[in-house]
Amino acid sequence: MKNHLNLIIAPLNAAHNKKDFHCNVESLDRHIHKQARQDIKRCISRIFVASFPDRPEEIMGYYSLSTLSIDLSQLPEKMSQKLPKHPIPAALIGRLAVSKNVQKCGIGKMLLVDAIKRTLSVTDQIAIYAMVVDSVNDTAIEFYEQFGFIGLNDDRSRLFLPLKSFELPNKHRKI
């Protein structure tokens, strides 16, 4: 998938140079260095990587995508009242990170938009109520809040946004 920064966002593959990726958060570096390929193999999550077309092996950023269900008690009452009384299906961005050399250039936002678009593209075949994100620290929480994500009731580090927010006319969209 291409975008206005002319980045390619594609599934992680063996040609990507994982070990040179650094984003200043050790757990997110370690994940791409050591864990990501195994998670893909075992169908635990999918990993998508941003790179420039002339340096396709260099990882500028990545995110992981998988599924989960959210207990109704985790949602604001106003929302849960309108839903059936069983867990709600969601897509999870478990990790999102941008290389420390190119942070604040729009790549994080681009990866987030890509993850949402990928998820929306399968919602006519698999019902997914919301996008959920895990944040590693307060800075990450602020990053997600600006796009309208709100914290789950019992877990401030896990935020969600109903996918129906993205069906609004363009002028009302946060992304």
Ligand X SMILES: CC(C)(COP(=O)(O)OP(=O)(O)OC[C@H]1O[C@@H](n2cnc3c(N)ncnc32)[C@H](O)[C@@H]1OP(=O)(O)O)[C@@H](O)C(=O)NCCC(=O)NCCS
Contact stretch for ligand X (CB under 6 A) within 1-9, 48-56, 82-90, 91-99:
91-99
Contact pick of 5, 25, 79, 152 for ligand X (by CB under 6 A): 25
Query: d(Cα 35, Cα 95) in Å, to the nearest integer?
Result: 12
- Minimum distance of ligand X from residue 141's CB (angstroms): 8
Number of other CB atoms surrounding residue 30 within 10 Å? 11
Of all residues in the chain, what percent are helix, strand and coil, respectively (each to 5)? 35, 30, 35
Q: Would you give the distance in Å from CA 56 to the centre of its chain?
A: 21
Contact pick of 139, 154, 169, 171 for ligand X (by CB under 6 A): 139
Dihedral of alpha carbons 79, 83, 87, 92, sign: negative
Contact stretch for ligand X (CB under 6 A) within 20-28, 36-44, 73-81, 163-171:
20-28
Residues that bind ligand X (CB under 6 A): 23-25, 28, 95-98, 103-109, 135-136, 139-140, 142-143, 146
